[in-house]
Structure formats: structure tokens, C-alpha cells
């Protein structure tokens, strides 16, 4: 058996890491009134957000009350309304902190080139890491998006735009090279790729409980995504 070819991040020009993709840099957010927050106000707002993450990870959203959030954040309940109008408002702010853009940087190099399969594996591994960190927030905000609730659909579109655009570019490049039939709609295929990785990441724990190893999940999803994006289904040496 031939040894698996590997490529370094430096040789492909990729420098992302799990720690780098976990969230967007927090913005200096105003209070609900629109006034800028001082250091103390920013800390209080963060405590409210962290308490909300804990609660939505433990129970259903319907069972999370402002009273519970305030108690866990160790603030007086009226202070909650200085920063947020509702628990849903907190979830919205949390969702805005989650960025998938660093993942898209792994889609910039050509996955059909040498090292492409390594990039696909890295993409899946980083995606699993991101979803694990942000699972409660992403699951709830995407549930709201599925229900077309408020501005959550638009928020999800902003979150995933760089990903489906990245896959779309890969597919268009492969069509130009003659590896993928022109009947495939690149943007739609890009959406499907995002759906595939988000589903696998969301169900990661369940799939592991079903007997699949982490390595199998990474390898299978990486090869599926690379096959869709490049039309290449064989080993890396075929690229």
C-alpha cells in the first residue's frame, strides 16, 4: 500500500487553526438603548450572553426565562433589559459572533491540485471543532432560520455565504477543466455542500455513538466534499 501523501499548511498557504475559527472577534456593542458600553457594562453584557449559552445547552429554549439568565449571570433582573429585550435577542447577538469565514479560507486553494484532499480533511476537522464549540447557539439560531423566524434566515445566509461561495468557485473551476458536467448548477451544489458538512457536524456525537470513528467521519466527509467540488473520486495521486 502506498503511503498517504500529505501536505503542510505552509506549502498550501493555509494558516487556519481550530482556535482561530471558533468565533468572530466580539464587537464593542451598545446597550439596548444604543448608547456605547463602558468596561463594566461590557462585562455585564458578556455575563448575560455566557449565562444564556449555558442555559440553552441544558434545556429547551421555551424553558429559558429571563429570570433564569439573570440569576445565573448574577445580576438583578431589571439590569437584563439594559442590554437585551428578550432571551431571543441574546441568542441573536450570540449568533452574530459565530463566523464561518475562516473555514472558507480552506476553500481558496484548488482542491483538485496536490494537497487538495488534505485541505478537504482539514476543512472537515475544523468544521467539526467549530460546531462543537458553538453547537447550542448554532442549533437554536438555525432552528429559528428554518422556521423563518425574524431575521434569523438572513443571519444564517450571512454566516454561510463565504462557504457556499467557496464551494461554488471550486465547482466552476472544475467545470472549466471538464471534470464536472455543466448540467450541475454550481451555486446549488455549493448550498448542498454546506448542508452536508453542517449535518455531519451537528450529528457528530450521534454518529460516533452509532459506531463510526472520528477518523472515519473526517475521511468520508472530506472525500464526499472533494468529489462534489472537483469531480475527483480517486486517491490524491489521481489529482
Whether pLDDT at 16 is above 50: no
- d(C-alpha 239, C-alpha 219), whole Å: 17
Is the separation of the CB atoms in 219 and 121 below 8 Å? yes
Whether 23 maps to a domain, the answer reads: no
Same domain? For 89 and 198 the reply is no
Residues 81 and 171 grouped into a single domain: no
Identify whether residues 63 and 138 lie together within a single domain: no
Does 84 lie in the same domain as 155?
Answer: no
Residue 2 covered by a domain: no
C-beta separation of 49 from 94 below 8 A = yes
Residue holding cell 460516533? 208
The pLDDT tens digits of the residues spanning 125-143 come to 999 999 999 999 999 999 9
Residue-wise pLDDT for 77-116, tens only, equals 999 999 999 999 999 999 999 999 999 999 999 999 999 9
Predicted local distance difference test score (pLDDT) of residue 38: 86
DSSP string of 145-174, one letter each residue: HHTT-TTHHHHHHHHHHHHHHHHHHHHHHH
- Examine residue 30 and state whether it is found in any structural domain, yes or no: no
Mean pLDDT, range 22-33, rounded to an integer: 53
Boundary of a domain, candidates 61, 76, 97: 97
Domains in the chain: how many in total? 2
Residues 66 and 158 in one domain: no
For the chain, what percent of residues have pLDDT higher than 70?
A: 83
Looking at 97, 125, 143, which one is the last position of a domain? Answer: 97
Task: Answer yes or no: are the C-beta atoms of 200 and 217 closer than 8 Å.
Answer: yes
Helices (H), the chain: 9-12, 39-58, 66-73, 77-83, 87-97, 101-104, 116-146, 152-176, 186-202, 204-209, 214-230
pLDDT category, 33, cuts 50, 70, 90?
A: low
82 and 150 part of one domain: no
Question: Residues 155, 80: one domain?
Answer: no
Do 161 and 135 lie in a common domain?
A: yes
Q: Are residues 103 and 217 in the same domain?
A: yes
Quote the pLDDT of residue 21.
42
pLDDT interval class at 37 (50, 70, 90): confident
What CATH number is given to the structural domain containing 90? 1.10.10.60
User: What is residue 29's predicted lDDT score, i.e. its pLDDT?
Assistant: 59
Same domain, 81 and 188: no
Q: What pLDDT does residue 173 have?
A: 97
Question: Are 162 and 178 in the same domain?
Answer: yes
Taking the C-alpha atoms of residue 44 and residue 69, their distance in angstroms, rounded to an integer, is 12
Contact predicate 134/98, CB 8 Å: yes
Mean pLDDT of all residues belonging to the chain: 88
CA dist., res. 237 & res. 239, Å (int): 5
48 with 58, same domain: the answer is yes
Give the residue numbers spanning the domain of 60.
39-97
Amino acid at each position: 500500500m502506498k503511503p498517504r501523501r500529505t501536505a503542510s499548511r505552509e506549502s498550501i498557504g493555509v494558516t487556519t487553526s481550530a482556535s482561530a475559527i471558533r468565533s468572530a472577534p466580539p464587537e464593542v456593542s451598545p446597550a439596548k438603548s444604543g448608547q456605547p458600553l463602558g468596561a463594566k457594562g461590557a462585562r455585564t453584557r458578556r455575563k448575560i450572553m455566557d449565562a444564556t449559552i449555558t442555559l440553552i445547552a441544558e434545556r429547551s429554549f421555551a424553558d429559558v426565562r429571563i429570570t433564569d439568565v439573570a440569576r445565573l449571570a448574577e445580576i438583578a433582573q431589571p439590569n437584563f433589559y439594559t442590554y437585551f429585550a428578550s432571551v431571543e435577542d441574546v441568542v441573536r447577538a450570540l449568533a452574530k459572533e459565530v463566523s464561518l469565514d475562516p473555514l472558507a479560507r480552506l476553500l481558496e486553494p484548488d482542491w483538485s491540485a496536490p494537497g487538495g484532499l488534505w485541505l478537504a480533511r482539514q476543512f472537515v476537522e475544523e468544521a467539526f471543532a467549530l460546531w462543537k464549540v458553538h453547537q447550542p447557539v448554532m442549533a437554536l439560531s438555525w432552528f429559528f432560520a428554518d422556521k423563518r423566524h425574524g431575521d434569523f434566515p438572513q443571519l444564517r445566509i450571512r454566516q454561510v455565504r463565504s462557504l457556499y461561495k467557496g464551494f461554488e468557485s471550486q465547482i466552476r473551476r472544475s467545470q472549466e477543466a471538464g471534470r464536472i458536467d455543466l448540467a450541475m448548477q454550481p451555486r446549488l451544489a455549493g448550498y448542498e455542500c454546506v448542508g452536508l458538512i453542517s449535518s455531519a457536524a451537528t450529528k457528530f456525537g450521534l454518529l460516533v455513538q452509532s459506531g463510526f470513528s472520528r477518523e472515519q467521519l473526517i475521511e468520508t466527509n472530506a472525500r464526499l466534499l472533494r468529489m462534489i467540488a472537483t469531480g475527483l473520486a480517486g486517491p490524491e495521486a489521481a489529482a
